Structure 1
């Protein structure tokens, strides 16, 4: 099943995607929302971020090759950081480059969408609590990150968390391909099989620290090949089995 959030006629709704059409849901899909009303062509609606998280939890250096390309060692435990919910934008949303940074990078990632409250969970329990999977771009002001040796400002700017286009519930997160293209040129391509910590163990680890709520996003790390984006670029993040998230840079 593929779910989404969309706007039509000034109204925002949760939806279920059926081929090239979408039908509205009575509530969030992870809350058991049921399809109602007519089907609309996807071309008639504007897709929004397919989740409205209270928080976005991310992990750094979860692919060995990415850690190496930035001159870092792989952490002994997951290196966690947060993105604010105000950073989230949907498909087609503009990534706005801040004046404070001269080196902003793309980071293509697979993200888990939490389906039910998760706290102090095992990996098996975390697996059952995941509603589905989506594409995420962990946009990063690399020069700010390098100068501060900290992630909050570098990764927390408004619009620095594109998400979408849909949530796919039927996906094997242990065998997916994550790709990033800028203006059609491939920059990143990696397999989730190369993760240091798999998504289920990652969510279990996070749940020992903070409670994950329905709709929260957990980004699982980026493969090697991160690089700069500039005004006028179009960035595409693709995860096999989900689709393509495309955003302009302004």
Structure 2
């Protein structure tokens, strides 16, 4: 089972690895839902940990419908990441009707075929989770996982949809469903019992006082690891 946690810099990444995180998602501007980190921060994290680092590629927090100018920034950020030795990104793009922007995905994958991609929670804004999953399954060679709360505000509220997506994952063999959003020490046992997902994504719930301004809570991390690995 994989435990992924959000980090904001090298020190947090080192602490997360020490406490048993299997993978980190590196972001900046967490108050805005997570944006692309600075190049210096990316380099620092890549140099400080041995576990996989998924880097958020998101130029702004206004929406997920990107202009040509936005995409130019995205290309340059990915190029810089690859130049630093990284090849894992967290990315999502939608059309104006909130369906998956396949044009953007295909352009990224064609240009950077080595990428390991997490499609982020833009997925939860699509009109049909089923259709969106089938679309992303076409790119499963690069899109390895989908971060989702089942189209709802948190995983408990989206449980039925998460179960449906988990079944699609098994049937189609597409991207892994990675529950994230509202997960905490109190709910993870019930969620894991119902979903038996292979990976989970945690944010502030694994921090002291559930605040990104604080360090990781070692007891909470241990509890979550014990739940998902047993």
Q: Same fold (TM over 0.5)?
A: no
TM value normalised by structure 2 = 0.25
Q: Which has the higher strand share?
A: 1
Greater RCO structure (CA 8 Å; 6+ sep):
1
Higher helix share: 2
